[in-house]
Structure 1
Amino acid sequence: MSLIYDEAAWLLLVPGGSSIAVCLERSSKKFSDGDIETLTAISPLVQALHRVHLERVLSLSTQNLWYGDGVRSQQKAVLIRDRHGAAVFQNEQWSVLADQVREIESLALLEQADRAAAGSQALSAEAILHWEKLDDHFALAPGGQIWVIEPRSPGYIQADFAETLRDFQTRHLLTPREKDIVELVLQGYPNAEIAKRLGIGIGTVRNHRYRLYFKLDITTERELFFLFIEFLLGRGKGDQDGG
């Protein structure tokens, strides 16, 4: 069983207002000041590699950028303009969404975007446009702009935590004690605080977690979060489809 004692991460920005986290984990000790200095020193290299990766992805007309909801995938529409406003890349989906593209022009969003480094605009009940500036090191269009049209989010999932936790317990055949531990872990409590709240020893908490992780076929606390979120999203989609 692997537990996370300390974690360091780089947050890498991607078009559309999202980011990617590259995480380094330690299971038994904290990162030292020297470790942080080293990670800081190589941060420009990590950022440069990420930027090259984005350039490679966006420069290939055959490359698909996917938006996934866990069941199906829809291609994002992508347009890249250089600093003078000339289109240097657009994927096939941008042409497919011709109606939305024409609406962009009619709303004068091009002029609006020239005045803003980043922004977004709803095009319809189903689609939303994001745009943002590219930095001067982006080889395909230094100082240009990227535009992305993607499906709108279905909105907030209406779910009661206690009810969802009971359903999670039922789905995975958890004992009442395992359910209690899952609840406290999801709330961010360490083993010592979990032991205190449940009135048991720290060693007992560790034993319960070991059996819990084995039952769920996971090895880390992070995987437990992912498993629960995946279950929550599945319930939320089922509720929306049913409604």
Structure 2
Amino acid sequence: MKSPALASGLPLASINTALGEAARLAGISGFYPALLAAFRALVPHDIATVVRYSAVGEPTFLLHHGFSDSLARQYETTFFVFDPFYRYWTRTEQPGVVSLDMFPATATRHSRYVREFLEESSITDELGIFLPALGRASVAMFLERKVGRFVSAERTSIEVFYPLFAGLDIAHVNAILAVEGGSGPSLPRAVMIRDRDGNAVHVSEAWRKLEQADAGLRRAVERLAAEDAGQAVLGEGNILHRTRMSAAHALAPQGWLFMVEKAPSTSADYDQIIISRLNPALTPREVDIVKLILEGHPTAAIAQRLNLQRGTVKNHRLRIYEKLDITSERELFITYIQALQGQGHTEK
């Protein structure tokens, strides 16, 4: 019986060689490019990207091959709010293999993300591999095609090898954290790790600087530990998160990771406050309809979700367009993006 890993017809030796190189580079800056090479040996693709997704912050491009810098910045400042993979992580925080076809058609194939971002990128299909979480963040590796779609046998090949990819990533993170002052693209900037007895085993330089600047950080850490809580709000728009480390983590098995990130200025479900500010005269029902329009839902789907008649939704659309002084969905999208960028979504 033919192994699923060989469904593409590629020799197993080339895959093993690529995985061996990734293992050799664990803890070194070349690790993720090497891991991408392993994916390339396993499943052919035209474009590869590596993105850090956070359940409490905005995504960040770490690597992109065959993908322009300008499109990467456009994604980070604009299109990420329409990305179904970003929504997937913020809602589930589940590592694993995720394909574009797993999402409802109205949220992907007909969405703004597909019609205006993927088409501009000349991408016809995506396959995402979410690596094990550190804190509430995951490094996700994406394989993209310019022609055709990924078939089930190719996804199966990735799933068969996923435990090995996940293990290599854990080894990479362990190697980074084992070196005082080490840093890597999968790590948040301000992080502290305590073992299960409460001893600090890793403190990043960014954490030390933040401790000096914000006297409330130490108090927040102790409060979360005492209350066995998950997060606390700090000053300057920062949020402190406390997460249990896995038993497999070499540095602090069953320990605790504390990390500080900026609170996102908008959510993956489209911030109702921003939509409301497009025109204060928008009613709550109209705000709901604007959200669904931005997600790419057609009139019939909006009517079904909100338990309204199609004619009622059409009338709401006309009133929304009149209040915003626009005439099309495209103008609504542009108006929303301009309001979003006005909330601080500029290039970092």
User: Is 1:237 matched up with 2:344?
Assistant: yes
Secondary structure of the structure 2 residue equivalent to 1:150: strand
Aligned-pair Cα RMSD in Å: 4.0
Residue 260 of structure 2 corresponds to which residue in structure 1? 149
SS of alignment partner, residue 237 of structure 1: coil
Partner of 1:158: 274
Task: Note the C-alpha offset of 1:7.
Answer: 2.2
Q: Which residue of 2 aligns with 1:90?
A: 203
- Please state if 1:78 is matched with 2:187: no
1:26–1:93: structure 2 CA closer, same or farther, 3 Å change rule?
A: closer
Select 2:148's aligned residue among 24, 29, 40.
Answer: 29
What TM-score results when the alignment is normalised by the length of structure 2?
0.40
Within 2, Cα distance between the matches of 1:52 and 1:230?
Answer: 40
Alpha carbons 1:133, 1:144 under 8 Å: kept: yes
Which residue in the other structure is 2:237 paired with?
Answer: 126
Distance in 2 (CA, whole Å) between partners of 1:16 and 1:230 is 30
Query: C-alpha displacement at 1:93, in angstroms?
Result: 3.0
Shift of 1:146: 0.7
| 1:39 CA drift (Å) | 0.9
By how many angstroms is 1:34 displaced?
2.0
Change (3 A) 1:96 1:25: closer
Relative to structure 1, the CA distance from residue 111 to residue 2 in structure 2 (aligned partners, 3 Å threshold; closer, same or farther) is closer
Matched, 1:100 2:216: yes
Structure number with higher strand proportion: 1
* 1:42 match: 161
Amino acid at match of 1:158: I
> For the structure 1 residues 13 and 63, does the alpha-carbon distance in structure 2 shift closer, same or farther, using more than 3 Å as the test?
same
User: What is the identity, as a one-letter code, of the residue corresponding to 2:203?
Assistant: Q
Aligned to 1:137: 248
Deviation track 1:183-238 (CA, whole Å, cap 9, x = no partner) reads x999499xxxxxxxxxxxxxxxxxxxxxxxxxxxxxxxxxxxxxxx9977544328
Distance 2:192 2:242 in 1: 9
Change (3 A) 1:158 1:41: same
CA offsets, 1:5-45, max 9 Å, x none? 33221112443423332111233333233212211111112
| Structure 1 unaligned residues grouped into runs of 5+ | 67-74, 164-183, 190-228
- 1:130, distance to aligned residue in structure 2 (A): 0.6
Q: 1:27, 1:230 → 2: CA distance? A: 27
Aligned equivalent of 1:57:
176
TM-fit CA distance, 1:83: 2.3
The superposition leaves residues 41-75 of structure 1 with CA deviations (integer Å, 9 ceiling, x where unpaired) of: 11112212222232233333323578xxxxxxxx8
- Residue type at the aligned position of 2:204: N
- After superposition, the Cα gap between the structure-2 partners of 1:106 and 1:63, relative to the gap in structure 1 and judged at 3 Å, is closer
**Cα distance between partner residues in 1 of 2:262 and 2:121:** 37
Percent of pairs identical after alignment? 27
- Contact 2:192/2:200, CA 8 A, preserved across alignment: yes
Number of positions where the alignment pairs a residue of Structure 1 with one of Structure 2 = 169
